[in-house]
């Protein structure tokens, strides 16, 4: 149980009693221990409109506070007017008991209880293996889903795809060409065809399973290619611990008539007109600078239209939260989708769009240009082969989605031993090892320990770090930026490793050993929770 709500209430009452302006009180961990454990800038904010000196105001607020000495050991005021709180050691001892009692439930939120959420991610069409770029999105999406689940949401992980477009046709033609080439006929790949080696593999499989006399337009080419590729995509995702609950095919919206219905609904609202043989969406009437084509002059809808229908479909399924994860190349399309839904009177507030920047692959100091069609990409599968799923997941998640990620393949492979993920996992393995070592010497873990024996600075620092976990997790839910969890865990591991070098756990001093065993057990719980959330293993041995 964090102290923040308690302090916020006390501070709010004090400002009220002093007749100062009411503002939202913010409390943050102090960066420098000199300033206690928690600080607030309340007086700085409140003094100005009241025409008072911030420092004196801080002192006045402090004078009005009556705090439980079991929780707060000391209150100080520092220039220019910060109020600092030093937490009592008893508070941290209580925290330790809480973590051990709650176990993996520690820090879990309830704000999503009884609510459902949908996270759509990856959504690559089955035209080729997943690339490294898809990998970033896959990990990001899965981790965001984990964060939601942590806070109680019932999450559906969804994969949206289109297996009927031009690219799929091209794929089928490419497979057919390779099929005939394998049979010794000189059939060229279509222009702009798919050149990857996997196309040849699919062709060979078709020969093995369906024989050698398929005609050029046989639907088996497309069907077999899709099946093969989709199986590979799913297998790759599975290796990273990612399972989608639901696959939605764009085609279903054509078959159900939802596409036509959508156009009709927009037309009824007056947002549709026809020109140059195409059907246009009058986005200029809704504040945009350019109208958009929804149905081409060929009669085929553009990608925008099914996207709109798909989002209407998700809204109608009744999720409290709908998260779309897109690459930066989609940034311009979702506003049109949202505008269309609003035009039809939908409340779009459940929809939250997360845009991630691209991954630039660097090999031998040079950028690798990626194209699925030309097969010049590095596949996600290859990356996992090289680095292992834990490293891949952690690498993608430890950076903010807004950063243009430079992925140096040589470096990642060379430094795999020094990779931060091993640092984290090593902390966990170390804890398990110490506990095992203790058991061998007859130290049973017991809840009957004396926490007041934990007085060493690195012990207290570790406790303070553990105290931040629930806050970190709720911030992660607000901002949906998983890297703050990764950064927190690294910092926790650092505190643990420091503690380890300074404080021996298993010693002749039994009571102290018991207390330290309790401490590292708590660290283990939080590490486990955090790593699980990131989808990274917490190994007992390395």
The nearer residue to RNA, 181 or 302, going by C-beta atoms, is 302
DSSP per-residue letters across 156-182: EEEEEE-SSSHHHHHHHHHHHHHHHHH
The nearer residue to RNA, 48 or 374, going by C-beta atoms, is 48
Angle at 527 between CA 237 and CA 131, to 5 degrees: 20
Q: Is 165 among the residues that bind RNA (CB under 7 A)?
A: yes
Min separation Cβ 500 and RNA, Å: 5
The nearer residue to RNA, 205 or 373, going by C-beta atoms, is 373
The nearer residue to RNA, 180 or 358, going by C-beta atoms, is 358
Identify the residue whose tokens are 């409340």. Answer: 347
Do strands 154-161 and 351-356 pair parallel, antiparallel, or not at all (unpaired)?
Answer: unpaired
Q: Is 475 among the residues that bind RNA (CB under 7 A)?
A: yes
Q: Is 332 among the residues that bind RNA (CB under 7 A)?
A: yes
Angle at 281 between CA 275 and CA 283, to 5 degrees: 120
The nearer residue to RNA, 214 or 412, going by C-beta atoms, is 412
Q: Is 398 among the residues that bind RNA (CB under 7 A)?
A: yes
Angle at 305 between CA 301 and CA 308, to 5 degrees: 165
Q: 105 and 470 in contact (C-beta within 8 Å)?
A: no
Q: Is 402 among the residues that bind RNA (CB under 7 A)?
A: yes
Min separation Cβ 8 and RNA, Å: 10
Min separation Cβ 46 and RNA, Å: 10
The nearer residue to RNA, 12 or 475, going by C-beta atoms, is 475
Q: Is 408 among the residues that bind RNA (CB under 7 A)?
A: yes
Min separation Cβ 185 and RNA, Å: 29
Q: Is 302 among the residues that bind RNA (CB under 7 A)?
A: yes
Q: Is 104 exposed, middle or buried (0-12, 13-18, 19+ CB in 10 A)?
A: exposed
Q: In whole angstroms, what is the distance from residue 183 CA to residue 201 CA?
A: 13
Contacting RNA within 346-385 (CB under 7 A): 355, 357-358
Min separation Cβ 272 and RNA, Å: 14
Q: Is 296 among the residues that bind RNA (CB under 7 A)?
A: yes
The nearer residue to RNA, 178 or 495, going by C-beta atoms, is 495
Mask 482-521, x = binds RNA (CB under 7 A)? -xx--x--x---x--xx-xxxxxxx---------------
Q: Is 213 among the residues that bind RNA (CB under 7 A)?
A: no
The nearer residue to RNA, 459 or 467, going by C-beta atoms, is 459
Identify the residue whose tokens are 């084509």. Answer: 293
Q: Is 34 among the residues that bind RNA (CB under 7 A)?
A: yes
Q: Across the strands, what pairs with 363?
A: 366
Q: 426 and 536 in contact (C-beta within 8 Å)?
A: no
Q: Which of 9, 130, 138 is nearest to 68 (CA)?
A: 9
Q: Which of 15, 88, 137, 162 binds RNA (CB under 7 A)?
A: 162
Q: Which of 165, 116, 92, 111 is nearest to 321 (CA)?
A: 116
Contacting RNA within 84-143 (CB under 7 A): 84, 125
Q: Is 291 exposed, middle or buried (0-12, 13-18, 19+ CB in 10 A)?
A: middle
Q: Which of 53, 423, 528, 537 binds RNA (CB under 7 A)?
A: 423
């Amino acid at each position: 149980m964090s102290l923040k709500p308690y302090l916020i209430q006390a501070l709010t009452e004090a400002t009220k009693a002093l007749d100062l302006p009411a503002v939202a009180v913010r409390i943050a961990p102090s960066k420098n221990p000199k300033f206690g454990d928690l600080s607030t800038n309340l007086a700085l904010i409140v003094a100005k409109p009241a025409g008072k000196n911030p420092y004196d105001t801080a002192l006045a607020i402090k004078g009005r506070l009556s705090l439980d000495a079991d929780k707060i050991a000391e209150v100080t005021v520092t220039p220019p007017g910060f109020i600092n709180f030093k937490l009592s050691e008893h508070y941290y001892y209580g925290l330790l008991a809480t973590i051990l009692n709650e176990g993996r439930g520690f820090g879990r939120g309830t704000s999503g209880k009884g609510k459902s959420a949908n996270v759509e991610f990856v959504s690559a069409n089955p035209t080729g293996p997943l690339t490294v770029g898809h990998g970033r999105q896959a990990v990001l999406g899965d981790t965001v889903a984990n964060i939601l689940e942590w806070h109680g949401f019932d999450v559906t992980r969804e994969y949206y795809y289109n297996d009927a477009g031009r690219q799929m046709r091209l794929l089928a033609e490419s497979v057919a060409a390779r099929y005939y080439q394998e049979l010794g006929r000189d059939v060229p790949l279509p222009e702009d065809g798919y050149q990857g080696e996997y196309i040849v593999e699919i062709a060979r499989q078709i020969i093995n399973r369906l024989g050698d006399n398929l005609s050029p337009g046989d639907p088996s080419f497309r069907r077999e290619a899709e099946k093969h590729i989709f199986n590979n995509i799913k297998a790759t995702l599975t290796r990273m611990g990612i399972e989608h609950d639901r696959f939605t095919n764009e085609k279903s919206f054509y078959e159900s008539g939802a596409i036509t219905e959508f156009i009709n609904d927009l037309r009824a609202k007056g947002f549709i007109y026809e020109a140059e043989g195409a059907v246009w969406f009058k986005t200029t009437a809704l504040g945009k600078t350019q109208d958009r084509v929804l149905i081409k002059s060929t009669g085929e809808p553009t990608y925008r239209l099914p996207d709109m229908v798909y989002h209407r479909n998700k809204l109608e399924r009744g999720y409290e939260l709908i998260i779309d994860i897109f690459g930066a190349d989609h940034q311009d399309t979702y506003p049109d989708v949202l505008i269309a839904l609003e035009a039809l009177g939908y409340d779009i507030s459940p929809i939250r769009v997360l845009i991630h920047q691209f991954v630039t692959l660097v090999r031998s100091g040079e950028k690798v240009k990626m194209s699925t069609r030309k097969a010049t990409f590095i596949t996600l599968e290859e990356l996992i082969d090289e680095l292992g799923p834990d490293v891949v997941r952690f690498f993608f998640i430890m950076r903010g989605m807004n950063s243009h990620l430079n992925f140096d393949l040589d470096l990642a492979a060379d430094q795999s031993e020094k990779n931060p993920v091993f640092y984290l996992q090593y902390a966990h393995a170390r804890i398990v090892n110490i506990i095992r070592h203790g058991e061998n010497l007859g130290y049973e873990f017991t809840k009957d320990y004396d926490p007041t024996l934990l007085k060493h600075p690195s012990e207290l620092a570790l406790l303070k770090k553990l105290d931040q976990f629930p806050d970190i997790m709720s911030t992660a839910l607000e901002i949906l930026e998983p890297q703050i969890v990764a950064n927190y865990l690294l910092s926790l591991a650092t505190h643990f490793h420091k503690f380890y070098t300074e404080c021996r756990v298993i010693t002749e001093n039994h009571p102290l050993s018991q207390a330290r065993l309790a401490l590292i057990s708590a660290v283990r719980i939080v590490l486990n929770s955090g790593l699980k959330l990131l989808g990274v293993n917490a190994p007992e041995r390395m």
